[in-house]
Amino acid sequence: MVSDTRRMTDLSDVTARMRDFTDAREWARFHDLKSLTLALVGEVGEVAELVQWLPTDQAGGTMPGSHLRERLGDELADVLLYLVRLADVAGVDLGAEALKKLATNEERFPATHYRSVAPERR
Amino acid sequence: MVSDTRRMTDLSDVTARMRDFTDAREWARFHDLKSLTLALVGEVGEVAELVQWLPTDQAGGTMPGSHLRERLGDELADVLLYLVRLADVAGVDLGAEALKKLATNEERFPATHYRSVAPERR
Amino acid sequence: MVSDTRRMTDLSDVTARMRDFTDAREWARFHDLKSLTLALVGEVGEVAELVQWLPTDQAGGTMPGSHLRERLGDELADVLLYLVRLADVAGVDLGAEALKKLATNEERFPATHYRSVAPERR
Amino acid sequence: MVSDTRRMTDLSDVTARMRDFTDAREWARFHDLKSLTLALVGEVGEVAELVQWLPTDQAGGTMPGSHLRERLGDELADVLLYLVRLADVAGVDLGAEALKKLATNEERFPATHYRSVAPERR
């Protein structure tokens, strides 16, 4: 589990830094919705490769300092960076949308009803 | 592009809310690394379906209030929610890792050298 | 396991039929490498959604006639159809490449050495 | 486009060879539906990385003998091998399902009606 002492990371900060990073290299012209989605897919693929053969009894989490945790940290960061960039290009306020979706899900899946019942697929 | 007036969204807040959401429904036992990666893949697949047939001249962004922007907001939120949940279960501080990766990338791709040159793959 | 009595399905036949299907609808202009890869991703995402919450003891296979087998048959077919179409547009002889890769893998992972040892990642 | 002189590749042959390859290494116990779907995702991710930054005017196909075609051939083969393996474990006759789906699509999207109109999403 994540330490309670970690510092805050504001999604709009990460978004702004990715935008600056992109602009400074004049890479914005490569960053259309399709290319960025493909880049996101590539990074998610790397996450999948890290966990695909994990035995069930090792898939529950990672050990602090383990190679797997370090590799996952690296790849999940890549996923987030392309995700915020894609949202920025799409004109989507990712943080606001996530909070809105959380509220929707809290209503859609009442805790008393869904306790311990696997989420149904839509 | 995203408005400059949007409010802050702290990644650790989203993480904590997803953890509470999960715990209240006793869904943590479904949330191993492999299942959550598959859930992430499913949501990324929905994003792909939204952009796959976009003509090149419409792939640069979205119009405010358009159906596409609304749909992308919804699906990108799902991607983020599973991403923070996966990072939480993996013991990864997603925000810290993203900022670290940004710093690495800034050094690895010096702006003066890479200006306007497509990023090479590893 | 698949019945031994199933009829043959030639990959180049499926490829030719997908090409005819595409041409008859004048859809070839939508079928560039990036759009088709995104379409493939969308279908793989649907497969992921079918298996993501399967408990470990039900992930070993499917029951004949089960809803899951039926749904997987449908989605895996979609994956194959976009895969052969992508290969066709890429100028790749998918069947020949697969047989070549199989031969490579057989040499790269000698059975005597790798027996029961999980495949290492590259 | 693919040469007309290529030899036939029967999907059930590829399936049987993958099964033999797996059995000879006693890897079947790693090959549950979730692990194989993740492996498929990993390979699709590699395809995405090959095409993600392609400029639009180079995304229409590949040049014979080009590095891109060679790399795509290699990665698309990996996708097919995990796909047939996943179908085998799922008890799905992949070839039969693909032909069935083709027939369904031919009826669902009448050529006269859909000519030149982008396929709608479901």
Of A38, A49, A118, Cβ closest to residue C53: A118
Helix crossing, B11-24 with B94-108: angle to 10°?
Answer: 140
Q: Which chains touch B (3 or more CB pairs under 8 A)?
A: A, C, D
**On the CB side of B86, how many CA atoms lie within 13 Å of its CA?**
27
pTM, full prediction: 0.94
- pLDDT, residue B2, reads 46
- Chain A residue numbers with beta carbons less than 8 Å from the beta carbon of C37 are 38, 41
Give C-chain residues touching B52 at CB under 8 angstroms. 35, 38-39, 42
D1:C64 CB<8 A:
no
Separation in Å, CA of B71 to nearest CA in chain A:
10
Q: Three-state DSSP class for C54?
A: coil
CA A7 to chain D, closest CA, distance in angstroms equals 32
- Structural contact between residues D82 and D38, judged by C-beta atoms closer than 8 angstroms: no
* Residue of chain A minimizing CA distance to C59: A56
Tens of pLDDT, residue by residue over A10-65, are 999 999 999 999 999 999 999 999 999 999 999 999 999 999 999 988 999 999 99
The size of the A-D interface in CB pairs under 8 A is 51
Residue A121 pLDDT more than 60? no
Asked if residue D15 lies in contact with residue C2, where contact means CB atoms within 8 angstroms, the answer is yes
Across the interface, of D34, D56, D119, the residue whose CB is closest to B34 is: D34
pLDDT number for residue A5: 53
First to last CA, chain D: 29
Nearest CA in chain D to A36: D52
Task: Show residues of chain D in contact with C95, CB under 8 Å.
Answer: 6-9, 14
> B8 pLDDT exceeds 70?
yes
D38 and A51 within 8 Å at the Cβ level: the answer is yes
Containing B110, the helix (H) or strand (E) segment is none
**ipTM of the shown complex:** 0.92
| Chain C residues with beta carbon closer than 8 angstroms to that of A33 | none
pLDDT tens per residue across span C8-62: 899 999 999 999 999 999 999 999 999 999 999 999 999 999 999 999 889 999 9
Which residues lie across from D10 on neighbouring strands?
C10
Instruction: Locate the chain A residue with the closest alpha carbon to D36.
Output: A52
* Sequence-ordered list of residues with C-beta below 8 angstroms from that of C17, at least 6 positions apart, any chain: D99, D102
Tell which residue, D27, D51, D50, has the closest CA to residue D39: D27
> Chain-centre distance of CA C79, in angstroms?
6
H/E element, D103? helix D94-108
Q: Could you report how far apart the first and last alpha carbons of chain B are, in Å? A: 29
